[in-house]
Structure 1
Amino acid sequence: MMNMRTICVGLSALLAAQLAMADPIPEENGFSGSIGLGVGGNRVKSNLFKGDKNQRTNSLNSAPESHNDSFALPVLDLSYTFAASRTQIVFDSQIHDPLGMDDTLELGVRQQVGNNGIVSAGLLYGGLNKNTWTDPYAVGVDRDGTKRKSTGLLLGWENIMGTGFKAQLTQRNIKIDDERSGQSVAGLSAADRATLNRNGDATLLKAGYEWAFAPNQTLTPGLSWGKDKLDGGAMSNKSYGLSLDYAYSSDLNTFSAGLQFRKQRFDQGNPLFGNKKADSNAYAVDLNYLRHQLFGEKALSAFVSAAYGKSNADISFYDAEIRSLGVGLIYSF
């Protein structure tokens, strides 16, 4: 099941994260980072993503229909460095789930530990532009929207023991402001409705190896393991993922490409679909390009970013597909 809640913010976070190679702590005190803004469009197939044109679904037994959305595309990556102590305060976007375009804002600290790498810790908040349906299963009526918020912690270690290995662990609490899943379905018991509850905790562990195989180029294979321990057993799941990222960067050009694959396995059957589990296989591909020193301005860059993702679930109601394209400008300092 691909979560399509936060496509526009998630795409900008994906862009910022995947265009970065190894990011050492600067040698001088002061602020650094980048800010930017762009525009983009999506073509989405999803019964769960809350858009402007899919308030109504006509059946629980059919795959979703496609609709188009446009969005603003913010880019944010800010930091302040204390060079003497090799400490950096950061405020940026962190990707929780690239396949679901699910991201959070992070306020954290990075600390270089001699030649043993850089350790990090941060506070996470996800609540900007994260709208979902109060009851995704309401059929033949305009569904009401609500906020999906998350708060949590991040722990990370880059260049582990001086190598290209890196790992990151996030733990978040997810809160749906007005959770009414299944309330509109006649004959569904209170116990069955409880299995659809989307509130709870989410854990994600990611690890990878950044291989600088040629000048200015890296290849990063990665693994991920996730567990969503939600109040509803039919929504609780475990996931296993593979990823492969490529990046090239020079004075004038930066290019990246990424491929992700994920298996998601649910704890209980879904009472709306004959107690069948919503197990799914999903993949996503993205391409990103930056042109630096735009119009001769050293700090100004232009970007174009494209992404495609698809999830095939054992329950067709949860199938999803997305095509996204965005363009914009970034100012670095």
Structure 2
Amino acid sequence: MKYVHIAVGLLLTTYSSMSSAQLAPEAGISGNFSVLTAMSSTNSNLSTTVDAYSPNSEQKRDEEFIGAALGNITYTFGEELDQQIFIGTSREDIATGLISLEMGYRYLTDAGTQVSLAFLPTVLTDEVWQDPYNFDTSRAKTDRTGNAYLLSFSHINGSPYSVDIGFANVKIDEEKSGQTHLEESQQKLMNRNAHSYFGKLSYQEMLTASSGYSVSLRYLHHDTEGDAMVYDHLSAEGTWFKFHNRHRFAATLTTGLSKYEIDNPIFEEQRSDAQYSAFGAYEFASLFGFEDLSFVSLVSYNNHRSNIDFYSFDEYFFSAGFNIPF
């Protein structure tokens, strides 16, 4: 998945309505619109925001300032207000650091299960290096494109359990990984074009009328054309959230491990990674006395450690902005 740590809202509205017998209070169009500014910093060798020239694979930190306008729209219909069409940025994903455009259909069954089928056309779209391992000259950029498809069963039969199943494809326009160091036969082992298969099991519960938590286990199999880039990823995540008057808080901790199938021909060893992430989200409602205006902010830190130093990095992010529901 594409981790661009931008936050314009909180996931808390989802928890407050988890036992609702309807998808929305009334039929018709609703949603929210957000404007934000953000600052991010990373020293990842794979990030195209750092210097194109990386002699001896030296890591260099880069800061980036971002401005964006985001939001989502839902249309609720049906005699029991049990159907929705939605498009925009997922609020749940935003609050935990993952941003993407999604569009799809949601249905609430008589048993209380929310069934969603979503298409995410931009979740894997960004710029990457044609050959990230070119340490001799300036690296050239190329486009990475991809689509993802997600089937979700939320609050199954009215319970705290949810299941997500996903599939994605990745295409690198000019894939030249390892071209400057490897023979053609070995270069093929580094090909990043891929299909990914994703599963997630979640549990969420209210502790009091104004606070609760969620925990989840995730599994990802990333099946690339190059055998050296194939990996399995397993992660665990926990989120705590709290409402207090006009204040809303959420904190998320994530830890994960990735294991690659065969030795990396450039670094001549089998890669394994460990990831630790922390996110803190805050929302202040009724800003300046306006009921439909709130201040939102998110701070995040991600530490990614690999037994191959080239892939190790850390990044942090801060955002602040305004959200308007409608």
Q: TM (normalized to structure 2)?
A: 0.91
Cross-structure match for 2:186? 192
Cross-structure match for 1:123? 119
Provide Cα deviations, 1:162-207, integer angstroms capped at 9, x if missing partner: 111111111011111221111122xx11121111111110111111
Q: CA contact under 8 A between 2:83 and 2:106: conserved in structure 1?
A: yes
**Structure 1 residue 54 and structure 2 residue 51: aligned?**
yes
Cross-structure match for 1:320? 313
Q: CA contact under 8 A between 1:19 and 1:288: conserved in structure 2?
A: no
Q: CA contact under 8 A between 2:123 and 2:148: conserved in structure 1?
A: no
Cross-structure match for 2:211? 217
Distance 1:184 1:270 in 2: 15
| Residue number among 126, 142, 164 corresponding to 2:160 in the alignment | 164
1:303/1:27 Cα in 2 relative to 1: closer, same or farther (>3 Å)?
closer
1:267/1:103 Cα in 2 relative to 1: closer, same or farther (>3 Å)?
farther
Distance 1:289 1:113 in 2: 32
Letter in 1 for 2:321: G
1:124/1:176 Cα in 2 relative to 1: closer, same or farther (>3 Å)?
same
Cross-structure match for 1:205? 199
**Structure 1 residue 249 and structure 2 residue 243: aligned?**
yes
Letter in 1 for 2:200: K
Deviation at 1:238, TM superposition (A): 0.3
Distance 1:73 1:11 in 2: 9
Deviation at 1:326, TM superposition (A): 0.7
Equivalent residue pairs, number:
320
Task: Report the aligned-residue RMSD.
Answer: 2.3
Deviation at 1:97, TM superposition (A): 9.1
**Structure 1 residue 234 and structure 2 residue 228: aligned?**
yes
Deviation at 1:214, TM superposition (A): 0.7
Q: CA contact under 8 A between 2:189 and 2:226: conserved in structure 1?
A: yes
Provide Cα deviations, 1:199-244, integer angstroms capped at 9, x if missing partner: 1101111111111011121110110111000111111100111100
Gaps of 5+ in 1: none
Cross-structure match for 1:43? 41
Provide Cα deviations, 1:79-111, integer angstroms capped at 9, x if missing partner: 11004251011113359999x965432111110
Distance 1:294 1:65 in 2: 39
Q: Secondary structure at the match of 2:53?
A: coil
Distance 2:323 2:289 in 1: 14
Deviation at 1:27, TM superposition (A): 3.2
Cross-structure match for 1:283? 276
Deviation at 1:28, TM superposition (A): 1.3
Cross-structure match for 2:77? 82
Q: Secondary structure at the match of 1:273?
A: coil
Distance 1:313 1:127 in 2: 24
Deviation at 1:46, TM superposition (A): 0.3
Distance 1:204 1:103 in 2: 17
Q: TM (normalized to structure 1)?
A: 0.89
Deviation at 1:31, TM superposition (A): 1.1
1:250/1:96 Cα in 2 relative to 1: closer, same or farther (>3 Å)?
closer
Deviation at 1:158, TM superposition (A): 0.8
Q: Secondary structure at the match of 2:263?
A: coil
Cross-structure match for 2:107? 111
Cross-structure match for 2:62? 67
Distance 2:133 2:70 in 1: 34
Q: Secondary structure at the match of 1:268?
A: strand
Q: Secondary structure at the match of 1:317?
A: helix
Letter in 1 for 2:240: Y
Cross-structure match for 1:301? 294
